[in-house]
Amino acid sequence: MNQELDNMVASVREQLLKQFASAEDKTTVLRSNELRTLYARIAQLPNDQRAPFGNAVNKLKAELSDLIRQHNEQESALPAIDVSAPFALNSDKAHRPKLLSADLGSVHPLSEEISKICDIFYGMGFSMVESREIDDDWHMFGSLNFPEGHPARDDYDTFMTKQLDKDNKPLIAPAHTSSMQHRVLLKNKHLLDKGQPIATIIPGRTFRNEDVDPRHEHTFNQIEGIYVNSQVNIGNLIATLKTFLESYFNSSNIEVKTQPFYFPFTEPSLEFSLSCPFCNKQGCSVCSQSGWIELLGCGMIHPQVLRAAKIDPIKFQGFAWGVGVERLVMMKYGIEDIRHFESGKLSFLRQFSAGGYL
């Protein structure tokens, strides 16, 4: 091969190696104009020069293909991952995907509001215990005076597992935080004998087989409250809830209204409404023009519920309530659709981040 052809291949090689080093897509060198020009030249050469020149061009192409193959192998040969190890141990810095730093996140609005609600009750002397996300028939129904086969059980649209508990009944994703009442009574009844009340709130996630719409979610949060002492009456219940609501809505002129209702675990049972904190009973979109908002269920704890925990209902009485957290928060901030909470939409969540971020 003559010098001129030799130089030509050498200079194209140099250019393509440079291109290879900087290209995002390494295979572009194989489709490059420079390489194509070399191949086109083969046909124009006299017979005796074709073979050596063709060999040199093929050699260059093979060299480039090799480089590409090596590069691809390096890319795919990531180290094995120990899925149980902390993230930082599994990947070196160069291969670590970019993550948002933790200080760009914020507490979910429901968690934020649940702690505000708990704080208000702590101030009134309540302690707190969290609910659980799987429970049994006895705690969901039996201990709360729902007899076997009672139609009130159907009001709770419960999700059940195929797995059975020790009584051969399906386990249950609790449909209300009341399923913690029996445990709280059992654990704290020794206080009553010392002359101290049982005063506990129970925040927790609850589940129902609901048709989901702007007002109903299959997964939602409740806060249960339970208070037992001697000489407790329904006036104590109403005053406690009114005090809470005035504090939560930061309003001193909230009026409350009760209507008779039915729950197997309270007697009497009440549905508790408050005057709309947005329109002062004038009627607005939040209260569907009625001036009142039905908020929660409550009542005096049924003697059977106390007896199930071996508390004497002659000596001690109590009240309890269960309030939906989403409902409270929706009212407080004028949120129109309950599904926003579980949606994971940043545009929704960012509105509640106190510090402002991202």
| Dihedral angle over CA of 31, 36, 37, 43, nearest 10 | 180
Cβ proximity to ligand DAH: between 60 and 270 the closer is 270
CB of 182 to ligand DAH, least distance (A): 12
From the list 247, 266, 273, 317, which residue makes contact with ligand DAH (rule: CB under 6 A)?
266
Is 207 a residue that touches ligand DAH (CB under 6 A)? Answer: no
Taking every pair of Cα atoms in the chain, the longest distance, rounded to a whole number of angstroms, is 118
Cβ proximity to ligand DAH: between 106 and 229 the closer is 229
Task: Output the CA angle 293-298-304, nearest 5 degrees.
Answer: 160
CA separation for the pair 40, 42 (Å, rounded): 6
Buried b (16+ CB within 10 A) or exposed e, 162-177: eeeeeeebebbbbbbb
Cβ proximity to ligand DAH: between 32 and 266 the closer is 266
209-218: which pairs have CB atoms within 8 A and are 24 or more residues apart?
A: 209/157, 209/158, 209/159, 210/157, 212/339, 214/336, 214/337, 214/338, 214/339, 215/338, 216/338, 217/326, 217/338, 217/339, 217/341, 217/342
From the list 26, 176, 182, 327, which residue makes contact with ligand DAH (rule: CB under 6 A)?
176
CB of 276 to ligand DAH, least distance (A): 21
Element (H, E) at 186: helix 181-193
Is 306 a residue that touches ligand DAH (CB under 6 A)? Answer: no
**C-alpha 108 chain-centroid distance:** 8
Is 320 a residue that touches ligand DAH (CB under 6 A)? Answer: yes
From the list 20, 220, 263, 316, which residue makes contact with ligand DAH (rule: CB under 6 A)?
263
**C-alpha 233 chain-centroid distance:** 38
**C-alpha 74 chain-centroid distance:** 39
CB of 147 to ligand DAH, least distance (A): 17
Contact mark string toward ligand DAH, 180..199, x via CB under 6 A: --------------------
Cβ proximity to ligand DAH: between 37 and 233 the closer is 233
Is 298 a residue that touches ligand DAH (CB under 6 A)? Answer: yes
| Stretch in the footprint of ligand DAH (CB under 6 A) among 62-70, 164-172, 252-260, 319-327 | 319-327
Is 326 a residue that touches ligand DAH (CB under 6 A)? Answer: no
CA separation for the pair 298, 21 (Å, rounded): 73
Is 113 a residue that touches ligand DAH (CB under 6 A)? Answer: no
CB of 255 to ligand DAH, least distance (A): 21
User: Which of these, 219, 221, 222, 215, lies nearest to 207 by C-alpha position?
Assistant: 219
CA contacts within 13 A on the Cβ side of 141:
21
User: Which of these, 131, 145, 140, 149, lies nearest to 172 by C-alpha position?
Assistant: 140
From the list 32, 143, 145, 178, which residue makes contact with ligand DAH (rule: CB under 6 A)?
178
Is 299 a residue that touches ligand DAH (CB under 6 A)? Answer: yes
| Stretch in the footprint of ligand DAH (CB under 6 A) among 2-10, 70-78, 195-203, 316-324 | 316-324
Contact mark string toward ligand DAH, 208..247, x via CB under 6 A: ----------------x-----------------------
Show contacts with ligand DAH in window 278-297 (CB under 6 A): 297
The 8-class DSSP code of residue 107 comes to: -
CB of 351 to ligand DAH, least distance (A): 28
Sites of contact with ligand DAH (CB under 6 A): 176, 178, 224, 263, 266, 297-299, 320-322
